[in-house]
Amino acid sequence: MVKLFQLTLIFAGVVYAIISKNHLHVYLIINASLLLIMFKSKDNINVVHLCGALLAVYVLEMLIFHNFIVTESDVLSDMAINAIIFAFHFAVDLVIFFLLILRAPFTRARLESQGKPTDHIYKYNAEMALASLMTLFMVVDLMALGENFLRHLPEFGITGPVAEFFSTWRLAYDQYENVKFTLLGLTFLLVWLMASNLGQQPYEEPEPR
């Protein structure tokens, strides 16, 4: 019964992330989930370090975006504002990607420096799934950023038929929010997967061919 209730809450969180399109609410839900998972798994250093790293990045992202990232300006052009936003999101996703990839080596190195055993330190399935998801985040960011530059070629001094051809390219821009919130919903799902036995199974590297 408890597991069913938990699954219902997780499903509701995923749906809310996709439908609400409220950046602040979604990140607050994800951060609260990370804190709860850390508390539930406080004896598992893999989970604690992983959730702690994600929590730190997400909190910093919220603070920086809402206080320092320009979303409206009388001085900057729409192209410049969009470029700042897309580049910022790409930088955050890149940081999270490397944190996920390097988390296990970091935890292992820290324990070794303290003279503690490290045989229980490994990458999780959920951890690597999140890293793969971050790759999708970065692809979406780069597509939106590249399209933004192409759509505003005249601002780079490029005019004529080429600039006119790209001036109507808006697919990545128009769908950016929908895609990002769908991926955030999947992020919420994978975050909770870290609290499950399946998500905490050691990740097995593919054998070289």
Closest C-alpha to 95, from 62, 46, 53, 129? 53
Closest C-alpha to 133, from 102, 104, 93, 106? 93
Q: Who wins on pLDDT, 170 or 192?
A: 170
pTM: predicted TM-score of the whole model, two decimal places = 0.90
Asked whether the predicted pLDDT for residue 92 surpasses 50, the reply is: yes
| Rounded alpha-carbon distances, angstroms, from residue 171 to 64, 114, 177 | 27, 52, 11
Q: Considering the chain, what percentage of its residues have pLDDT values greater than 90?
A: 50
Q: Considering the chain, what percentage of its residues have pLDDT values greater than 70?
A: 95
Q: What is the torsion angle, in degrees rounded to the nearest 10, for the CA atoms of residue 65, residue 150, residue 98 and residue 30?
A: 40
Residue 2: band (very low, low, confident or very high) from pLDDT cuts 50, 70, 90 = very low
- Which stretch, 1-5, 62-66, 141-145, has highest mean pLDDT? 141-145
Express each pLDDT in 110-121 by its tens digit: 989 988 888 888
Q: Who wins on pLDDT, 97 or 10?
A: 97
User: What does DSSP assign to residue 117?
Assistant: -
Q: What is the mean pLDDT of the chain?
A: 88
pLDDT of res. 150: 95
